[in-house]
Amino acid sequence: MKSPGREAQQAATPQPAAGSRAPASREDAKSPERETPEAKAAPEKVGKKPGRRERRKARKAARSASAGAPAAEAAPPMDEAQRRRARAAERQRAAAELKRARAAHRRGRVRQTRREESAREHRAAMLTMILTLGLLIAAVAVTGGMIASSMRTRPVTLAAPLHVYPVAQTTPGQCPTGTQGISAQAGTGPTCYHLNQGIAIRQVSDLRVQRARSGNGYDVAVTLRTADRKAFAQLTGAMVGRDLAFVVRERLVTAPRVEMPINDGKVAITGPQTRADADRIIRELRGR
C-alpha cells in the first residue's frame, strides 16, 4: 500500500515534455545558459564600420591581387628600318627647330641693328644741329661785339668845330659891334647871346636822335670822347642852372640849360618836338 504522502509528492513533481531534455543535475539547472559559436560570431552592432586592422587587411589583399595580375602586354620591338625612320624623323625635327631658332635670332639681330643705326643717326643729327646753332650764336655774338666796338671806338668827325660857350647874359636885338657874343632868333625875336670863353670839339664818339625820356618829343644824344670829357665836366659844373651855347661856323645851333654836371660825357639835348627838328639839329652839329 502506497502511502498518500509519496503519491502526492510524485503527483506534484512535473513530468518533462516529450522531446525535451531534463537537466542532468542541479548544477546544470542552476548554471547560466552557455553561448553558442554562432552567437559569438554575430556582430554586436549592425552597420559598424571596419576597424583599422580590417582596413589594413583589405589593402594588403588588394595589393596582393594587383601584384598577381598579369603585366600589360609590351609593345612589339621595332625592326631596323623603323628605327632608321624614327632617327631620321628626329633629326629632321631637330634641324627644323635649329633653323627656326637661327631665323628668329637673325631677325632679332636685324631689328637691334636697325635700332642702333637709327639711334646713331639721331645722335649725329642732334650733334650737328647743336654745333651749327652754337657756331651761329658765336658768329652773331662776335659780329655784334665787333659792330658795337667799332661804333664805340670809331669817332664821328664833325665837318666844322663845335664850340660850346657859357652864356653870360642875353639881351634883345642884335649884338653891338665889338661885343663878344652872337645874335640869333629866339622866341621873343632877335636876341644877343653874350658869351664867355668855352671849348671846341672836333670829334665825338656818337651823335644820334633818340626818343625823349619823358615820352614826348625827341632828344639829341651826344657822346663825347675821353679827351673832351674833363673840360666839358668842368664847364657844366660851373654852369648849373644857366645856358650853354652850341655854335658851329659862327651860327647858334641851340642853347640848352644845364640841369646838372655831366661827368661821363653823355649829353642829351632836349626840346625838339618832332623828328625833323631833331634831325636838323644833328645836321647843324655835324657842320653840314
In a domain? residue 215: yes
Considering 109, 139, 154, which residue would you say is the last residue of a domain? 154
Pick 278 or 150 by higher pLDDT: 278
Same-domain pairing of 190 and 268? yes
For residues 164 and 233, the answer to whether their CB atoms sit within 8 Å is: no
Lowest mean pLDDT among 57-66, 136-145, 178-187, 234-243: 57-66
- The answer to whether residue 115 sits within a structural domain is yes
Q: What is the mean pLDDT of residues 205-210?
A: 93
In terms of domains, do 250 and 212 share one? yes
Q: Is 195 within a domain? A: yes
Residue range of the domain that includes 145: 85-154
Q: How confident is the model at residue 67 (pLDDT cuts 50, 70, 90)?
A: low
Selection from 31-45, 54-68, 193-207 with the highest mean pLDDT:
193-207
Instruction: Tell whether 198 and 267 lie within a shared domain.
Output: yes
For 32, the grid coordinates are 547560466
pLDDT, residue 60, reads 76
Residue 238, pLDDT above cutoff 90:
yes
pLDDT at 18 over 70: no
Residue 116 lies in a domain: yes
Number of domains in the chain: 2
- The SS3 of residue 91 is helix
List pLDDT tens digits, range 38-52: 444 444 444 455 677
Positive or negative CA dihedral for 257, 259, 261, 264? negative
Who's near 39: CB < 8 A, 6+ residues apart? none
Query: Which of 154, 178, 200 finishes a domain?
Result: 154
150 grid coordinates: 667799332
Last-in-domain residue among 96, 119, 154? 154
Average pLDDT over residues 58-73: 62
User: Does residue 105 form part of some domain?
Assistant: yes
Dump pLDDT digits (tens) for 117-138.
Answer: 888 888 889 889 999 989 899 9
Q: Are residues 198 and 108 in the same domain?
A: no
What's the CA gap between 242 and 161, in Å, rounded?
23
**So what's the pLDDT on residue 187?**
81
Averaged pLDDT for residues 111-122:
85
Q: Name 247's bridge partners.
A: 163, 252
Higher pLDDT among residues 74 and 50, named by residue = 50
Output the nine-digit C-alpha cell for 64.
596582393
Same domain, 266 and 180: yes
Same domain, 108 and 170: no
Instruction: Identify residue 2 by its one-letter amino acid code.
Output: K
Residue 27 lies in a domain: no
Q: Which three cell numbers stand for residue 223?
A: 657822346
Residue at 17 is within a domain: no
Name which of 38-47, 144-153, 175-184, 186-195 the model is least confident about: 38-47
Region 99-106 average pLDDT: 86
- Residues 131 and 217 occupy one common structural domain: no
Which of 6-10, 31-35, 37-41, 284-288 is most confident?
A: 284-288
For residue 66, name the pLDDT band (cuts at 50, 70, 90). Answer: low
Statement: residue 288 has pLDDT above 90: no
Q: Please determine, for residue 17, whether its predicted confidence score (pLDDT) is greater than 70.
A: no
Phi, psi of 282, rounded to the nearest 5 degrees: -60, -45
Q: What's 183's domain CATH number?
A: 3.30.1360.200
Clarify whether residues 197 and 272 are in a common domain. Answer: yes
Residue with cell 640841369: 259
Q: Are residues 166 and 278 in the same domain?
A: yes
Q: Are 147 and 237 contained in the same domain? A: no
User: Which parts of the chain are beta strand (E)?
Assistant: 156-172, 181-186, 189-195, 199-211, 218-224, 244-248, 251-254, 266-270
Q: Are residues 161 and 272 in the same domain?
A: yes
Checking if the pLDDT of 262 tops 70, the result is yes
Give yes or no: residues 141 and 184 share one domain: no
The predicted model gives 142-149 an average pLDDT of 74
Q: Is 89 a member of any domain?
A: yes
